[in-house]
Amino acid sequence: MSKTVRSKAIECKQNGKIFYITILENDLLKDICFISRRDEDSKKGFQRNLNLSRAKDIAKYLDEVKGTIPSALILSAQDISKFTFNKRSNEISFVTNERSFMVLDGQHRLYGLMLAEKIYSVPVVVFNHLTTTDEVNLFVDINTTQKGVPTTLLLDIKNLTGRETKKEERQRVLFDRLNKQSVIAGLMSATKSQVGKITRVSFNQATNELFDTGFFQDKDDLTIYKGVRNYLEAVEIVFNNSKSPKAKITNTNLFRAIFAIFKETTDKSLRDFGDLKVESLVNCLEPISRISFDSYTGTSNAAVQKIISDMKFELEGYGQIYHDVDSEQLF
């Protein structure tokens, strides 16, 4: 049953546009908001599909982690809401209906709030009297010019939050060491995406299993650094021997691929040579120099898997035997 709701609000004006800032509770928002989805309305819809897993994570973050979400939902009042603003009382009023407000930004936050078990006060920005064109333009502006913080920067500063996992800490230490002294020193970007450089995000994806399996799973950070440093130097030599212009160690796809064969290569080097010296690793990796790296196109996961498959085909026939080697002779 419809009812009239009143809420204290602040009227804001920017470049001729008026909007209102107020606080509404999530149990009310779930009854008055809707999403204009592209797959449901090809002519007027413009929102992406909902990621249910992400929404559940938000609900868990609020209810269990006791987190806060201070960023405002952005809504567009529809005619059916009979939205008004009283300047004397500084109040907005509207009629409740399941299509009173269209969500322009924050659909996952809203759905997470709807799934939450508790009642939360939610900051809300409301636009009124927008046309469909106005709504689409505002949606585009929010999702292009008003970009969020790059993921690689968030990862870089995560250690300051106390939420960094032990593996993330070790990856950060390894990243920083390699960026100071290795064949990719200066070719790694800690805080933002840059063409021709490896970001922390790409680095962490590539090295995700490095600390958990194979020879290095129980080794200290310095030993891991020396092993990876030598490995990357060997890869650089082999890539240069391939004569393929696109065989660059800073190519994100190739960077992921070379770490997908890291365990096979280091296992073979330890088995055949008893060490992880650059020349030994080059000898083990030499078969992949036969690959025409210029033939690979695309940036999808399928493209990466194709490169990995071709590399493993060239390297087939290794054994997993770790000899007792003198650490002084290892590198």
How many whole angstroms separate alpha carbon 312 and alpha carbon 259?
11
pLDDT of the residue at 261: 95
Give 197's contacts (C-beta < 8 A, 6+ positions apart).
Answer: 187, 188, 189, 250
Give 78's contacts (C-beta < 8 A, 6+ positions apart).
Answer: 99, 100, 101, 102
pLDDT of the residue at 148: 59
| Helix 221-242 with 252-260: angle, nearest 10 deg | 120
Q: Are strands 121-127 and 73-77 parallel, antiparallel or unpaired?
A: parallel
**Identity of the residue numbered 28:** L
Nearest in space to 270 (alpha carbons), one of 199, 331, 212: 331
- What is the tens place of the pLDDT at every residue in 2-61? 899 999 999 999 998 999 999 999 999 999 999 875 444 333 333 456 778 888 999 999
CA angle 123, 126, 131 (to 5 degrees): 155
- What is the tens place of the pLDDT at every residue in 321-331? 445 556 667 77
How does DSSP classify residue 160?
Answer: G
Residue 11 in contact with residue 85, Cβ under 8 Å? yes
Residue 257 in contact with residue 263, Cβ under 8 Å? no
**How many residues are there in the chain?**
331
Total Cβ atoms within 10 A of residue 17:
11
CA atoms within 13 A on the CB side of 311: 29
Domain boundaries, the chain: 4-144, 151-330
Give kind and range of the element (H or E) at residue 100.
none
Give kind and range of the element (H or E) at residue 305.
helix 301-314
Residues of the chain with pLDDT under 50: 38-47, 318-322
Using DSSP's 3-state secondary structure scheme, residue 73 falls into strand
pLDDT of the residue at 300: 76
Considering the entire predicted model, what is its pTM? 0.59
136-149 b/e (C-beta count within 10 Å ≥ 16 → b):
bebbeeeeeeeeee
pLDDT of the residue at 134: 86
